[in-house]
Amino acid sequence: MRTKQLDVEIENSSGFTPLTLSIDRLIVAGWVGRDETALQAHIAELGRLGVPAPTRIPTYMNLSTILLTTSKEMDVVGKKSSGEVECVLIKSGGKVFIGVGSDHTDREFEKHDIPASKQMCSKPVAPVVWELEDIKSHLDRIEMRSWLTINGQRRLYQEGRLSDNRSVLEILNGIPTEDQLGIENICIFCGTFPTRGDIEFGELFEFEMLDPVYKRKISQSYRLRTLPQYL
């Protein structure tokens, strides 16, 4: 995999400090729900779109690191793609950082090949991270939300806490190692949350991670543009 240099800022009690993270491997984890009923609901949700159920839980998908971006714009080729808010862990330089991102996916192609449908879209992340060690004691209380704007109408799209899913530390420690790709400088998307209704497609996706203990949040948004095709 190609090494990705991701420019971010670390937020702590002293303020913001610029940092460039070197990432050699991008992983997207799936089917991470802690609540079996909610997990099956999400499987059924995607099943209605023709997406096959997983053969193992959780799943780990290796994607190209070039997909990672902090851009607020995204070009797509399909009309049916959508974002998913996810906690993101980045292990780089011997430290682990926590942030928030969107596992944007081409839903039409997802019916045929799930990893390929994710490789087709950029993976936006917010340009701010926290040190995992700073919030390790209250990880389960971290809140995640996303909003979707469709034809100018903005609405809450997803909402949950990290406690709704498997521990992000469990997900991090469970990364398969038999492929010899390494686990030293990695970025892993730790799974999403069910939508408040059906999966839909809009022109603007917003997402955030809120720390209710330290009263701070990380947020990002991106606007979609479907590229015209002449076939």
Q: Which domain holds residue 147?
A: 4-226
The domain tally of the chain equals 1
Which residue in 201, 195, 199, 197 sits closest to 79, CA to CA? 201
Classify the C-alpha dihedral 171-177-181-182 as positive or negative: positive
User: Mean pLDDT throughout 65-82?
Assistant: 96
Q: Quick check: is 46 in a domain?
A: yes
Q: What pLDDT, on the 0 to 100 scale, is given for residue 68?
A: 98
Task: Note the pLDDT of residue 145.
Answer: 98
pLDDT given at position 44: 84
**Do residues 227 and 81 touch, judged by C-beta distance below 8 A?**
no
Mean pLDDT of the chain: 94
Specify if 231 maps to a domain.
Answer: no
Domain with residue 82: its CATH number is 3.90.850.10
**pLDDT value of position 207:** 98
Task: Note whether residue 121 is domain-resident.
Answer: yes
Q: Please state, in angstroms and rounded to a whole number, the distance separating the CA atoms of residues 82 and 163.
A: 24
Rounded Cα–Cα distance for residues 190 and 205 (Å): 19
pLDDT tens digits, one per residue of 173-201: 999 998 889 899 999 999 999 899 989 99
Count, residues in the chain: 231
